[in-house]
Amino acid sequence: MKLRFWFLLPARIWLTMLLAVPLGIICVYSLLTRGAYGGVSLPWTAENFTRLADPLYGAILLRSLWMAAAATALCLLMGFPLALFIARARKWRGLYLFLVILPFWTSFLVRTYAWMFLLRDTGLVNAALQAAGIIREPLTLLYNNGAVLLGLVYGYLPFMVLPLYSTLERQDPALLEAAADLGAKPLAALFRVVIPLAAPGIRAGSILVFIPCVGAFLTPDLLGGGKTVMIGNLVQNQFTTARDWPFGSSVSLALMTVVVALVVLFLRRDAEEAL
Amino acid sequence: MTKKRIFGEDIIIALEPILELREVTRQHGGRRIVDRISFSVPRGAFYSLLGPSGCGKTTTLRLIAGFDAPSAGEILLSGVRVNERKPYERNVSTVFQSYALFPHLTVQGNVEFGLRRISSPDIGRKVKEALALVELTGKEARYPAQLSGGERQRVALARSLVMDPDVLLLDEPLSALDPKLRKQMRVELKALQSRVGTTFLFVTHDQEEALSMSDSIAVMNGGRIEQIGSPETVYLRPATRFVAGFMGAVNWIRGVGLRPESLRLARLAPNGGPCCAATVTRSVFLGNCLQVHVRLESGEEAVAEVERSSDAFQAGESIHAFWKGADEMVFP
């Protein structure tokens, strides 16, 4: 018992200092009045939460959830075949996995800027298409929902591929042989055996992509050009430009509540399946 | 199949083997895992491939199922060449060593899996019958993880049998069970095979298993078949030294092989027949018999299994070892 206490102590301190305390601060801030130059002051008020009822914020939240869901679906559609390919590769498996995580070696900010250079009117993509004579006028590739979605999928695809790979790689090859033996063609085996058995990986990957996508602010800011406001931008805005820390805190709490509710929904389904 | 008209009745004589391998070879990495093997399995037989691990018996089974492709030779099912057919295009079914049950499906889901793939009619009735056959009625809603080892094996059997395969391929299906259950399942498996009449091709490394269940045994070694025959033939009349040694213990005396139970011991020299003087070195009580180790006058060591008796042979005692000429196993 003693040993257990000491081994868990670092994690306890870490979680208290970096999770519980900041969360407490946000809860307190969300109930205070904004200060003149940022920060917070008394008196206590519930106004920060009543303001959330404004349809404007509901629309932003819905758009964020929608964008995150679309990004998650695209990551799954692209990540599954990739993960399956890597899991079934006879050689070079280590290299493929290395390539999947290679982008993490540079800053996400730098990579997002790189996309801007590629997509802007005078960017590489438009220049190449014009040079090839396919288009005359540059296409508007940047500062729209499509660009934001692209940025999100690009940024979070590895978070989908890795958990999918780990479940697919562990699948017993004899199960596939059994499926074929019982008359299942490759596609039937994929949908009846491989995908159902990869469900834990699909759920883990989806949660890992969905959560950061809902709260993303860098990608919509840079690739959406501020036109596509997601809830992360709203929060960031309150703490920087608008200097309304209490409202920023209440939006954060609202976002967190929604995300936790969705994750619990996912996990409860997991629990039911396990029974 | 050949039809003959006898006394106005059509009698179908299944002369043609249901499964035939002709000079089948499987090469992998420059090594011949299966080396020009040929055998044919008659319809309805319980046929065993017996051999030590690495002898190519499991590979042979995988070639028949279609998981691996032969490098040369022909595989025929009911007289039709199936070399090029995918596993899902061959009417054979495999009971895997690990059973390979689908963990996300119930017993019902596992057994009906194959029927659904071929859009079979009467799925419900067939599954019910198959589960009744392996005595799993009432466990339809269980998942594989909730079953015992023996039950899992029976699900695997039901899942394959329900497809009504031409040949049921069994890859060491008893090896994952504990020894007591294994012996019981031998009897049950043999009874099941007689009941359903399906042709069984049974792969094992356990000679006792093969002897107790098979109609025919093909003994394999180093990718080749050493001998094909009935259990009596391969045990009593082995074609090679390897088969003799693999099927059971052998004493090598004056260049001929003798099973321990064929070697007899007596204090007085018997009249006629092969015989030689021997000294008892050790006597071991085995419960059902007495195992007596002797050194022959030629210096050769031998083991005899003799009946338990009150006047047991003592170590150091001088005796005579003798046997019947007919029990000698002679190899070129």
User: B227-230: long-range contacts at Cβ-Cβ below 8 A with a sequence spacing of 24 or more?
Assistant: B228/B39
In a domain, A134, yes or no: yes
**Using the beta-carbon criterion (under 8 Å), do B117 and A172 form an inter-chain contact?**
no
Comparing CA positions, the residue from B110, B194, B119 lying closest to residue B153 is: B110
In a domain, A109, yes or no: yes
When divided into structural domains, chain A yields a total of 1
Strand extents, DSSP E, chain A: 33-34, 40-41
Q: What is the pLDDT of residue B243?
A: 94
Q: What is the pLDDT of residue B9?
A: 41
* Shortest alpha-carbon distance between residue B64 and chain A (Å): 11
Question: Which residues, other chains included, contact B156 with Cβ-Cβ below 8 Å and sequence gap of 6+?
Answer: B95, B96, B99, B100, B101, B173
Q: What is the pLDDT of residue B2?
A: 44
Q: Is B301 in contact with B294 (CB distance < 8 Å)?
A: yes
Rounded to whole angstroms, the Cα distance separating A94 from A210 reads: 26
In a domain, A159, yes or no: yes
- Residue pLDDT, tens place only, A144-155: 888 889 999 999
**Using the beta-carbon criterion (under 8 Å), do A180 and B87 form an inter-chain contact?**
yes
Domain positions in chain B are: 16-241, 253-327
Q: What is the mean pLDDT of chain B?
A: 88
Q: Is B166 in contact with B199 (CB distance < 8 Å)?
A: yes
Q: Both ends of chain B: CA-CA distance in Å? A: 39
Interface of B with A in 75-94 (CB under 8 A): 86-88, 92-94
**A172 touches B at CB < 8 Å:** yes
Q: What is the pLDDT of residue A269?
A: 65
- Residue pLDDT, tens place only, A173-219: 999 999 999 999 999 999 999 999 999 899 888 888 998 998 888 88
Lookup result for tokens 């519980």: A20
In a domain, A252, yes or no: no
For every residue of B125-158, DSSP letters joined together read HHHHHHHHHTT-TT-TT--GGGS-HHHHHHHHHH
- A267 pLDDT band, cuts 50/70/90, is low
In a domain, A151, yes or no: yes
What range does the domain containing A141 cover? 54-230
Kindly report the CATH class assigned to B253-327.
mainly beta
Q: Give whole-number Cα distances, A129 to A117, A123, A137, B217, B230, in Å.
A: 15, 10, 10, 71, 76
Interface of A with B in 216-275 (CB under 8 A): none
Rounded to whole angstroms, the Cα distance separating A27 from B132 reads: 62
On chain B, the residues whose CB falls within 8 A of the CB of A181 are 65, 87-88, 92-94, 114, 160
Rounded to whole angstroms, the Cα distance separating B262 from A86 reads: 60
Rounded to whole angstroms, the Cα distance separating A197 from A224 reads: 37
**B28 touches A at CB < 8 Å:** no
B332 has a pLDDT exceeding 80:
no
Smallest Cβ–Cβ distance between B87 and the set A172, A181, A197 belongs to A181
Q: What is the pLDDT of residue A129?
A: 86
In a domain, A238, yes or no: no
Q: What is the pLDDT of residue B177?
A: 82
Phi, psi of B70 (to 5 degrees): -70, 145
Q: Strand B167-171 relative to strand B92-95: parallel, antiparallel, unpaired?
A: parallel
Comparing CA positions, the residue from A251, A212, A216 lying closest to residue A26 is: A251
List b or e across B231-248, with b for residues whose CB sees 16 or more CB atoms inside 10 angstroms.
Answer: beebbbebbeebbbebbe
Rounded to whole angstroms, the Cα distance separating A200 from A167 reads: 7
Q: Give whole-number Cα distances, B207 to B5, B49, B220, B287, B288, in Å.
A: 42, 10, 12, 21, 20
On chain A, the residues whose CB falls within 8 A of the CB of B163 are 182-183
Nearest C-alpha in A relative to B163? A182
- Of 3.60.21.10, 3.40.30.10, 3.40.50.300, 3.40.50.1000, the CATH number of B16-241 is 3.40.50.300
- Residue pLDDT, tens place only, B222-259: 999 999 999 999 999 999 999 999 999 999 988 888 99
Q: What is the mean pLDDT of chain A?
A: 87
In a domain, A9, yes or no: no
**Using the beta-carbon criterion (under 8 Å), do A184 and B159 form an inter-chain contact?**
no
- Residue pLDDT, tens place only, A58-84: 888 888 899 999 999 999 999 999 999
- A274 pLDDT band, cuts 50/70/90, is very low
Question: Which CATH number does the domain housing residue A188 bear?
Answer: 1.10.3720.10
